[in-house]
Amino acid sequence: MRNPGTVRSPGVTPGELDEVRCRLEDFAEDMFEPLARADQRRWGGGCLQGLLLDGQRKSAEPMAARLGQDGNRKALAHFITSSPWDPAHVRARPAWRTEPVIMPGR
């Protein structure tokens, strides 16, 4: 648990990520399910982890470094900048999941 008086960069620590890893992997699997290829789904989850981990810079290289041995700067950069997938399908997933909570009975 964090000390509320401690100032640090936004994000979670590797230990905090480990505590929620299974739930995060399930969430990523659901969010990136519309992507056609397994490598795209894998890097979607890696990108999500890289964004959540502590660190000021959220570009591909620093995120890949934070992912450690699971990080591949080239593959992550390719996923972010030039992988042929439609982000609209991924962005729609949270909306579809939250609609029953926000608008029950609809």
CA 13 to each of CA 34, 42, 61, 82: distance values in angstroms, whole numbers, following the listed order: 29, 21, 18, 29
Question: What pTM, to 2 d.p., does this model score?
Answer: 0.70
66 within 8 A of 56, measured Cβ to Cβ: no
Asked whether residue 10 carries a pLDDT value surpassing 80, the answer given is no
How far is Cα 76 from Cα 101, in angstroms, rounded to an integer? 33
Least confident segment among 34-38, 48-52, 69-73, 95-99: 69-73
Asked whether residue 16 carries a pLDDT value surpassing 60, the answer given is yes
How far is Cα 69 from Cα 5, in angstroms, rounded to an integer? 32
What are 22-57's pLDDT values in tens digits?
A: 999 999 999 899 888 898 898 888 888 888 888 877
Alpha-carbon Rg for the chain in angstroms: 15
Question: Which residue pairs, CB below 8 angstroms and at least 24 apart, start in 70-79?
Answer: 70/46, 71/46, 75/39, 75/43, 76/43, 76/46, 76/47, 76/50, 78/43, 79/40, 79/43, 79/44, 79/46, 79/47
